[in-house]
Amino acid sequence: MICFPNAKINLGLSIIDKRADGMHNIETCMMPVPVYDILEIKSSKEFSIVNSGIPISSNTEDNIISKTWEQLISINKKIPPVDVFLYKNIPIGSGLGGGSSDAAFFLKAINKLVSLQLSFEEMEGIMKRVGADSPFFIRNETAIATGVGDMLCPIENPLRNMYITIVYPNTIISTDKAYSRFEMYKNELSPVSTDCLRSIIAADINDWKNELKNDFEFLFLKDFPEISEIKDTLYNRGAIYSSLTGSGSAIYSVSSKPLNVDDLKGKYLTFSFFNQLTL
């Protein structure tokens, strides 16, 4: 079986507070986008993973797909082993959710291959034990996300029939590092409530530039001025809105017409598409 785990972008992101378990509560809107990894699964005598494309630095046992497999066999030890071939195209440490998507699509594929008959709710429950963003990719639809990103409320895709450009500045920002930085500067941030986030997203997109914020931008722009430069370039080329996605480091823009980013393609990994897909 071959499937194509897609990326996501975040429309706004507020870090609310640190939880007793050490994780952080957030408010954000996650939206699937058509940037894909490739995942192939074949029957095997023992479980294995082979990675290609963008290199993955972690050990196999630390791979999020391996963690998903461990969760599966803890539920049902009779699941037959598989070989997993993963081609990475979604950049790592970009805030685009590639690893989380790989895990969720792997789970959905096994659920279909072995006829486990797990419901969406059951698969989301498994994904909550694997990664904070992973439950989102089970239903894979635009949603307001709260909690650690695992409590989801679907909304209509607000960017359908818009052009989206994503630029990855070849910089990896680890999620752990991002949230550690929040602890240093949290008193300087003003969290946005879920109701406020909904109203901003539902309002005129031309107002997003001044209203729709990602807290991680404030935390990282001083350390990574290149992110700010790319964002300014996208605005200068005609973007209506531009933002860091997730904890970064990828920056995306929204526009009514295609942006000319040919000069950026020679320096950075870029993705451009007309957003009419219903993922």
CATH value at residue 223: 3.30.70.890
Q: Which of 8, 88, 108, 213 is catalytic?
A: 8
d(CA 140, CA 58): 26
Residue 277 is predicted with a pLDDT of: 60
pLDDT of 140-184, one tens digit each?
999 999 999 999 999 999 999 999 999 999 888 877 777 777 777
- 78 and 109, same structural domain? yes
pLDDT band, very low/low/confident/very high, at 185 (cuts 50, 70, 90): confident
pLDDT (0 to 100) of residue 199:
94
Residue span of the structural domain in which 183 resides:
162-275
Residue 258: strand, helix, or coil: coil
167 and 249, same domain (yes or no) = yes
Q: Which amino acid, one-letter code, is at 244?
A: L
Give the CATH number of the domain where residue 138 resides: 3.30.230.10
Same domain, 133 and 167: no
Answer yes or no: do 135 and 166 share one domain: no
Last residue of a domain, one of 101, 126, 154: 154
| pLDDT of 18 strictly over 90 | no
- Judge whether residue 279 has pLDDT over 60: no
Q: Which residue has the higher pLDDT, 110 or 228?
A: 110
Q: What is the pLDDT of residues 86-98, one digit of tens each?
A: 999 999 989 999 9
Q: Which two tokens stand for residue 80?
A: 């037959």
Residue 238 is predicted with a pLDDT of 98
pLDDT at 189: 76
According to the model, what pLDDT value does residue 220 have? 78
**Per the structure, how many domains does the chain have?**
2
Name 72's Cβ contacts closer than 8 Å, sequence gap at least 6.
79, 107, 110, 126
Please check the confidence at residue 65 and state whether its pLDDT lies above 70: yes
223 carries an active-site annotation: no
For tokens 């992110």, what's the residue? Answer: 227
Looking at the fold, whether 9 and 124 belong to one and the same domain comes out as yes
The percentage of the chain sitting over the pLDDT mark of 70, rounded to a whole number, equals 97
Helix (H) or strand (E) holding 179: helix 175-185
Q: Give yes or no for a contact between 68 and 41, defined as CB atoms under 8 angstroms apart.
A: no
Average pLDDT of the residues of the chain: 92
Model pTM score? 0.94
- Based on the domain organization, do 138 and 183 belong to the same domain? no
Residue with the bigger pLDDT between 57 and 65: it is: 65
Are 252 and 215 members of one domain?
Answer: yes
pLDDT score, position 198: 94
Q: What's the confidence (pLDDT) of residue 64?
A: 94
Q: Specify the pLDDT at position 271.
A: 97
Average pLDDT over residues 14-20: 90
Active site residue 8: yes
Do 23 and 147 have their domain in common? Answer: yes
Phi-psi category of residue 164: left, alpha or beta, with phi > 0 → left and psi -120 to 50 → alpha? beta
Are residues 205 and 186 part of one domain? yes
Q: Are residues 133 and 259 in the same domain?
A: no
The pLDDT value given to residue 61:
60
User: Which one is catalytic: 37, 102, 133, 150?
Assistant: 133
Is there a single domain that holds both residue 150 and residue 195? no
Q: Are residues 171 and 206 in the same domain?
A: yes
Choose the weakest-confidence range: 28-32, 130-134, 250-254: 130-134
Tokens 């946005």, residue located: 192
Of 44, 38, 37, the residue nearest 83 (C-alpha): 44
Specify the pLDDT at position 58. 66
Between 71 and 175, the higher pLDDT residue: 71
* pLDDT of 195 over the 80 cut: yes
